[in-house]
């Protein structure tokens, strides 16, 4: 087994035994379940109303229109999932990224790892591998719950291409949350003070989630956490068009929301993404850049720091 | 009879942080099989020296070899040949001693980690602690598990940074017994310490560092012969004061 793999396995085992990480992941899973229940409940209500209306209309000899559930995109029932990934998922990844460095620092094991017979890049690779696996596990939980919801809803016809789009949505969600995890990992490696990495990455996340949408689309924080209102068109004012063009590519929360709407089938017709860079490309570039930052910072991690007072 | 190649050898090894010189050019040889006591006041540069020798810090100038491997040219080979116990090791609280040790055994590339851990636990007489979580351990227990991780892969040179720090008298005594056993197996031990009594009992040679300068380096036999009347404490105070004056 390679040193990076050994380090990754140890880090994942540590995450699995850390109460704060477990609580966050459980909270994320619970919110995904709530999303599923909301989608299921809303669809079941529409189905019930439709059944009553159809029975009444047939009895009155009137034509029966098609069930609106069967005419809308089936994945749209998961529209709240994007919000929870963007909020709780991203914050969970930040906590995990910071924990991957801080746990070793607190345990005073960084010098022991640093005195091991392997290259410094193995330490970075091990940490990054653990992060990527942990965030993939979070998305897998979301995927299983989402799939369960789709398959148990009556009147909802889920096709192969729908499942493909769901997989792409989960991949985009993974890229989005992992970007923040990498930022936290890199920041924790760079900043030796306890929780400094967590705070730095959280500030970046807050700016991307709440400040940038305000500048590009006059979206207030409460609107920014709503899956429908966050997909607003750029207001018809010069300043918003300017900020939209300039900040659009880095406004990752908006980019992810647009991508969610597009993949899950609830994107308002004709709504263009902010800026000139397609959101999928912006997310991919952000993931690569944050990964490079994490790799560079973790390779140069001060292995002398830490101990019981850290 | 000392071997030809020293276990630890430095030539003009120094470390500075900006304008501050932490370690002045240090030239030192520690023959194989020695228990070398590295004495010095707080901030003298002892921990920095160990960090340089374990490749945790890069030297500002000079060179150093440990177990025949250069600190800058062959860091991986060097690290494969050493064991290291830092002063404030805690290990992973939520894991048992055995789980901690298995992790470090695998990381060190030990061929049979399970066997190596079992043997080391037996060697240190801490098998009873093996399946308890480290978070429940006292400082002394942690120190012994920390020592176990340092010797799991049977290193040629063992670096101990203040290994008796915070230990009660029984803990100090047990550690001394372990050092004697390791010395008996031919391991070279490089030990930073404050405790002169430990140096007198455990070490075969000593070096004294004062304000980043090596002010004394000789075998314990020579110390005993030359300073029998004044004793180790007076010797230490004398050479340290002379070093400061210089």
Residue A309 in domain:
no
Give the separation between CA A90 and CA A177, rounded to whole angstroms. Answer: 4
- Cβ atoms of residues A128 and A121 within 8 Å: no
Could you read off the pLDDT of B154-170 as tens digits, one per residue? 999 999 999 888 788 88
Distances (CA, A) of A281 to A97, A238, A275, B55, B113: 23, 26, 12, 41, 45
Q: Find the domain containing A250 and state its range.
A: 3-299
Among all residues of chain B, which has the CA nearest to that of A19? B94
Q: The whole model's pTM is what? A: 0.87
Contact A18 B94 (CB under 8 A): yes
Question: Residue B243's pLDDT is what?
Answer: 62
Residue A186 in domain:
yes
> How many Cβ atoms sit within 10 Å of the Cβ of residue A58?
11
Nearest CB to B109; choose among A17, A103, A117? A117
Residue A33 in domain:
yes
Could you read off the pLDDT of B158-210 as tens digits, one per residue? 999 998 887 888 888 888 889 999 999 999 999 998 777 778 888 999 998 98
Chain B neighbors of A116, CB-CB under 8 A? 79, 104, 107-108
Is the ipTM value over 0.85, yes or no? yes
Residue A307 in domain:
no
Question: Residue B183's pLDDT is what?
Answer: 92
Give, as one character, the DSSP assignment of residue B35: E
Terminal Cα-to-Cα distance of chain B (whole angstroms):
34
Asked if the C-beta of A22 comes within 8 angstroms of chain B's C-beta atoms, the answer is no
Higher pLDDT, B137 or B236: B137
Task: Give the torsion sign (CA, B175, B176, B179, B185).
Answer: negative
Checking if the pLDDT of A112 tops 70, the result is: yes
Give the separation between CA B143 and CA A24, rounded to whole angstroms. Answer: 33
Could you read off the pLDDT of A147-200 as tens digits, one per residue? 888 888 766 778 889 999 999 999 999 999 999 999 999 999 999 887 888 999
Residue A308 in domain:
no
Distances (CA, A) of A279 to A83, B15, B94, B118: 16, 49, 41, 54
Asked if the C-beta of A117 comes within 8 angstroms of chain B's C-beta atoms, the answer is yes
Mean pLDDT of all residues in B206-218: 88
3-state secondary structure chain A: CCHHHHHHHHHHHHHHCCHHHHHHHHHHHHHHHHHHHHHHHHHHHHHHHHHHHHHHHHHCCCCCCCCHHHHCCHHHHHHHHHHHHHHHHHHHHHHHHHHHHHHHHHHCCHHHHHCCCCCHHHHHHHHHHHHHHHHHHHHHHHHHHHHHHHHHCCCCCCCHHHHHHHHHHHHHHHHHHHHHHHHHHHHHHHCCCCCHHHHHHHHHHHHHHHHHHHHHHCCCHHHHCCCCHHHCCCCCCHHHHHHHHHHHHHCHHHHHHHHHHHHHCCCCCCCCCCCCCCHHHHHHHHHHHHHHHHHHHHHCCCCCCCCCCC
Chain A neighbors of B99, CB-CB under 8 A? 13
Checking if the pLDDT of B38 tops 90, the result is: yes
> How many Cβ atoms sit within 10 Å of the Cβ of residue A27?
14
Asked if the C-beta of B61 comes within 8 angstroms of chain A's C-beta atoms, the answer is no
Q: Given the DSSP bridges, would you call strands B82-85 and B8-17 parallel, antiparallel or unpaired?
A: unpaired
Residue A305 in domain:
no
Residue A11 in domain:
yes
Residue A277 in domain:
yes
Number of structural domains in chain A: 1
Could you read off the pLDDT of A224-260 as tens digits, one per residue? 666 666 677 777 777 777 877 788 788 899 899 999 9
Pure H helices in B85-153: 97-107, 113-123, 139-151
Could you read off the pLDDT of B42-63 as tens digits, one per residue? 888 999 999 999 999 999 999 9
Question: Residue B52's pLDDT is what?
Answer: 96
Could you read off the pLDDT of A29-62 as tens digits, one per residue? 888 888 878 877 887 888 889 889 988 998 888 8
Checking if the pLDDT of B96 tops 90, the result is: yes
Question: Which residues 73-112 in chain A show a CB within 8 A of chain B?
Answer: 103, 106-109, 111-112
Give the separation between CA A294 and CA A298, rounded to whole angstroms. Answer: 6
Distances (CA, A) of B124 to A45, A161, B115, B119, B182: 68, 62, 14, 9, 10
> How many Cβ atoms sit within 10 Å of the Cβ of residue B185?
10
Return contacts of A256-260, CB within 8 angstroms, 24+ apart: A256/A82, A256/A85, A256/A86, A256/A172, A256/A173, A256/A176, A256/A283, A257/A82, A257/A83, A257/A86, A257/A227, A257/A230, A257/A231, A258/A231, A259/A169, A259/A172, A259/A283, A260/A79, A260/A81, A260/A82, A260/A169, A260/A172, A260/A173, A260/A227
Contact A108 B106 (CB under 8 A): no
């Amino acid at each position: 087994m390679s040193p990076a793999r050994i380090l990754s396995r140890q880090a994942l085992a540590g995450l699995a035994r850390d109460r704060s990480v477990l609580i966050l992941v459980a909270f994320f899973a619970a919110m995904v379940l709530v999303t599923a229940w909301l989608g299921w409940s809303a669809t079941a209500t529409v189905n019930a109303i439709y059944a009553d209306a159809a029975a009444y209309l047939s009895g009155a000899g009137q034509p029966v229109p098609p069930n609106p559930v069967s005419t809308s995109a089936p994945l749209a029932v998961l529209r709240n999932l994007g919000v929870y990934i963007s909020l709780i998922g991203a914050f969970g990844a930040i906590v995990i990224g910071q924990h991957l460095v801080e746990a070793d620092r607190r345990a005073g094991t960084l010098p022991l790892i640093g005195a091991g017979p392997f290259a410094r890049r193995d330490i970075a690779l091990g940490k990054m591998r653990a992060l990527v696996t942990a965030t993939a596990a979070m998305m897998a939980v979301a995927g299983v719950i989402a799939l369960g919801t789709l398959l148990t809803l009556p009147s909802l016809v889920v096709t192969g291409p729908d499942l493909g789009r769901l997989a792409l949505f989960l991949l985009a969600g993974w890229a989005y949350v992992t970007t923040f995890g990498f930022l936290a990992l890199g920041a924790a490696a760079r900043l030796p003070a306890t929780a400094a990495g967590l705070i730095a990455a959280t500030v970046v996340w807050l700016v991307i989630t709440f400040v940038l949408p305000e500048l590009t689309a006059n979206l207030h924080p409460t609107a920014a956490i709503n899956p429908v209102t966050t997909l607003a068109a750029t207001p018809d004012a010069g300043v918003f068009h300017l900020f939209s063009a300039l900040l659009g590519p880095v406004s990752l929360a908006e980019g992810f929301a647009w991508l969610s709407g597009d993949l899950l089938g609830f994107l308002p017709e004709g709504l263009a993404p902010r800026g000139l860079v397609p959101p999928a490309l912006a997310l991919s570039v952000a993931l690569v850049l944050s990964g490079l930052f994490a790799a560079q910072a973790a390779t140069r991690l001060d292995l002398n720091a830490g101990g019981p007072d850290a | 009879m000392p071997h030809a190649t020293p276990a630890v050898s430095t030539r003009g090894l120094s470390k500075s942080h900006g304008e501050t010189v932490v370690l002045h050019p240090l030239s030192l040889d520690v023959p194989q099989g020695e228990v070398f006591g590295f004495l010095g006041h707080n901030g003298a540069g002892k921990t920095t020296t160990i960090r340089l020798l374990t490749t945790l810090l890069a030297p500002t100038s000079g060179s150093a070899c440990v177990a025949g491997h250069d600190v800058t040219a062959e860091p991986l080979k060097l690290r494969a040949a050493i064991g290291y116990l830092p002063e404030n090791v805690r290990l992973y609280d939520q894991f048992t001693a055995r789980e901690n040790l298995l992790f470090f055994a695998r990381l060190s590339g030990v061929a049979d980690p399970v066997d190596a851990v079992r043997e080391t636990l037996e060697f240190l007489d801490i098998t009873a602690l093996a399946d308890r979580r480290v978070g429940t351990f006292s400082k002394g227990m942690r120190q012994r598990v920390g020592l176990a991780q340092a010797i799991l892969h049977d290193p040629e040179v063992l670096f101990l940074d203040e290994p008796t720090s915070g230990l009660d008298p029984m803990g100090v005594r047990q550690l001394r017994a372990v050092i004697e056993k390791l010395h008996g197996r031919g391991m070279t031990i490089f030990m930073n310490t404050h405790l002169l009594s430990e140096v007198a009992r455990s070490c075969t040679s000593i070096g004294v560092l004062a304000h980043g300068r090596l002010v004394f380096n000789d075998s314990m036999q020579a110390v005993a012969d030359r300073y029998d009347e004044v004793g180790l404490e007076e010797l230490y105070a004398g050479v340290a004061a002379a070093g400061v004056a210089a």
